Amino acid sequence: MLRETIGKTKILLAENHLVVRDGIKLLLDNEDNLEVVADVCCGREILDLIAAGVEADILITDLNMDNGGFRFIKDIHEKNTGIYVIILTMLYDEHYVAQSFRNGARGYLVKNVNAEEMLFCINHVAKGGRYLCEELTMKLVDKLIHQEDARAFRMDPTELLLTTREMEVLTLLADGLTNLEISEKLFLSKRTVEGHRQSLIDKTKSKNTPALIKFAIQNGLLQYSPLSE
Q: What is the pLDDT of residues 84-143, one digit of tens each?
A: 999 999 988 888 999 999 999 999 999 999 999 999 999 999 999 999 999 999 988 888
- The C-alpha atoms of residue 44 and residue 49 are separated, in whole angstroms, by 9
End-to-end alpha carbon distance in the chain: 63
| Stronger pLDDT, 98 or 220, i.e. the higher one | 98
pLDDT, tens digit, for every residue of 159-193? 678 888 999 999 999 888 999 999 999 999 999 99
Where is 122: in which H helix or E strand?
Answer: helix 115-126
- The C-alpha atoms of residue 49 and residue 46 are separated, in whole angstroms, by 5
pLDDT of res. 159:
67
pLDDT band at 148 (very low <50, low <70, confident <90, very high): low
pLDDT of 44 > 70? The answer is yes
Distances from the Cα of 86 to the Cα of 21, 44, 61, 175, 223, angstroms: 14, 17, 6, 53, 46
Distances from the Cα of 27 to the Cα of 70, 168, 199, angstroms: 26, 68, 67
Closest CA to 185 of 177, 194, 176, 195: 177
Which residue intervals of 4-42 are DSSP H helices? 18-29
pLDDT of res. 5:
44
